[in-house]
Amino acid sequence: MTMKIKHHLTDELLMAYAAGSLPEAFSLVVATHVSMCDECRARLAEYEAVGGAVLEDTGTPEMDAGSLEATLRLIGEMREAEEAETAAPAPQASGLFPQPLRDYVGGDLDAVEWRSVGGKVRQAVLPTDKGAAARLLYIPAGAAMPDHGHSGMELTMVLQGAFEDADGYFGRGDVEVAGEEMEHTPVAAPGADCVCLVATDAPLKFSGFLPRMAQPFIGI
Amino acid sequence: MAQNEPPKAPPVKEETTPEAHWVNLVQAVKTRKDQRAFASLFAHFAPRVKAFLMKSGADPALAEEVAQDVMATLWHKAHMFDPERASVATWIFTIARNRRIDVLRKSRRPEPEDLPWGPEHEPDQADTIALQQESEQLGKALAALPENQRVLIERAYFGEFSHSEIAAETGLPLGTIKSRIRLALERLRQEMN
Ligand SMILES: [Zn+2]
Ligand SMILES: [Zn+2]
């Protein structure tokens, strides 16, 4: 059964991804969502088209003397390297994770190296550049995340199960975009354990005493 | 590299728009490694890619180097170009953007999974023409935007600027920037409908 995606990426995120100005961790969430969402894929194509129009209109400085010839030489040199990498691996037929996420994990759900972060919640940090952090979270069905606010932006995309907070119900493929004004306590829906991809560009602010103690260990 | 063959008469493909002309040139690079077609693409797009990189913060020498690299990538990846999904300018923009992330930011860019039918399917003629006309229209709509909106859109695409960095540099409050960009995008959408 395919469930319809209800919570999509914002225009600001799609435009910044099209422009290439998002930190890698946010780009990973965008690429993962777009892999599953035809609606956002079409919107992304529009934003890339704006990029094409901007390029057309950017101005035309002189190229260096002999630039075309240098490029033709470069084409000859690049050929061998290109031929070596030709066949990009075909996307695997099925699995929980879309291809961009699988590239970061090194496989599907069974390849994730989980670490406990207290209670039954587990996480796995994914390697990205310093602009923001990306992690997978595993929240057992019915369990709550600590209540927290945000000092920056937080994107949470559901890959399995579902969670709920004051803003609504988020199922597979849905993305919650949380900004500084938002404080929430996501609770994993009963039924299936919830697996989410989370990207944050600033540490979260926990309101309870214990979670604040745990923060240095959790690192979120 | 294939020898520079004498240009053959292109198959009966009418060039209804300037965009159709660029598409035909990319096809010529793809199907017969046509160096003259490549030279025409280079003359038009290489300086634009160089300008794009300079406005993104690269010095002229680096911008030149990356522009050559982007155009060489165009040659090798011509088989990936799908005229039903993007204009030639848009496709080149995405190559240049990705190279900028590589070179200037030294970062990786995760890409969405490709659509199931992949880039090798035969593009639909009607869809291709519709996209070419929309691209022309989008270019005109962008040029017709009020200066203060157009400039912010352009800067967002030069990429090293987040909205808050544009705010710091222009002295405009972040809210103003966001609403001008939103206005500009709404206008573009109206023009396209
Ligand atoms: Zn979506
Ligand atoms: Zn949160």
pLDDT over 60 (residue A200): yes
Q: Does residue A72 form part of some domain?
A: no
Q: Tokens for B164, please give them.
A: 């808050």
pLDDT tens digits for range A17-59? 999 988 999 999 999 999 999 999 999 999 999 999 999 998 8
Q: Name the percent of chain A lying above pLDDT 70.
A: 84
Per residue in B2-60, pLDDT (tens digit) is: 455 555 545 545 666 788 999 999 999 999 999 999 999 999 999 999 999 999 989 99
Q: Where exactly are the structural domains of chain B?
A: 18-120
> Helix, strand or coil for residue B73?
helix
Residue A143 reports pLDDT greater than 60: yes
A146/A148 Cα distance (integer angstroms): 6
Residue A134 lies in a domain: yes
What does the angle CA B115 – CA B134 – CA B18 come to, to the nearest 5 degrees?
105
Pairing label, strands A148-150, A204-206: antiparallel
**For chain A, what is the mean pLDDT?**
86
Strand, helix or coil at A138? strand
The CB density around residue B29, as the number of other CB atoms within 10 Å, is 23
* pLDDT value, residue A49: 93
Give the closest-approach CA distance of B35 to chain A in angstroms.
9
What pLDDT is recorded for position A130? 83
Query: Looking at residues B79-94, what average pLDDT do you find?
Result: 94
- Cα A142 to the chain's mean position, in Å? 24
Listed in sequence order, the residues at least 6 apart from A191 whose beta carbon sits closer than 8 Å to its beta carbon are A141, A161, A162
CB pair distance less than 8 Å for B90 and A71: no
Residues of B in contact with A99 (CB under 8 A): 112-113
**Record: contact A63-B54, CB cut-off 8 A:** no
| pLDDT at position A213 over 50 | no
Q: Indicate the residue of B90, B113, B163 with minimum beta-carbon distance to A51.
A: B90
Residue A128: closest CA among A100, A91, A163:
A100
B115 SS3 class: coil
Q: How confident is the model over B142-160, as a mean pLDDT?
A: 86
pLDDT at A83: 57
Q: Which of A24, A41, A76 sits opposite B112 (nearest CB)?
A: A41
Topology of domain B18-120, per CATH? Answer: Rna Polymerase Sigma Factor; Chain: A (1.10.1740)
Whether residue B138 lies within 8 A of chain A, CB to CB, comes out as yes
What is the number of structural domains in chain A?
1
Q: In one letter, which amino acid is A16?
A: A
Q: Is the Cβ pair B76, A53 closer than 8 Å?
A: no
Q: Which residues of A52-62 are buried (b: 16+ CB within 10 A; e: fewer)?
A: bbbbbebeebe
- Please provide the average confidence, as pLDDT, over all residues in chain B: 85
Tell me the pLDDT band of A218, cut-offs 50, 70 and 90: very low
Structural domain span for residue A41: 1-61+98-220
Q: Which residues of A touch B35 (CB under 8 A)?
A: 72
d(CA A154, CA A180): 9
pLDDT mean over A189-211: 79
Any idea what the CATH number is for the domain that residue A204 is in? 2.60.120.10
Separation of alpha carbons B137 and B130, rounded Å? 11
Tell me how far the alpha carbon of residue A219 lies from the centroid of ligand 2, in angstroms.
13
| Distance from C-alpha of B193 to C-alpha of B189, rounded to nearest angstrom | 6
Q: For this complex, say whether ipTM is above 0.90.
A: no
Question: Is the pLDDT confidence value at A110 over 90?
Answer: yes
3-state helix, strand, coil in chain A (%, to 5): 35, 20, 40
Q: What is the pLDDT of residue B14?
A: 60
- Cα-to-chain-centroid distance, residue A17: 11
Residue A195, domain member (yes or no): yes
A130 Cα to the center of ligand 2, angstroms: 19
Lowest mean pLDDT among A5-9, A89-93, B89-93: A89-93
Give the pLDDT mean for B144-164.
81
pLDDT band at A89 (very low <50, low <70, confident <90, very high): low
What contacts B38, CB < 8 A, 6 or more positions away?
A72, B25, B29, B71, B74, B75
Query: What string of DSSP letters covers B8-65?
Result: PPPPS----SHHHHHHHHHHHHHHH--HHHHHHHHHHHHHHHHHHHHHTT--HHHHHH
* pLDDT beyond 90 at A164: yes
Residue A81 is assigned to a structural domain of this protein: no
Give the model confidence (pLDDT) of A68-86 as tens digits: 999 999 999 887 666 555 5
Cβ contact A20–B75 (<8 Å): no
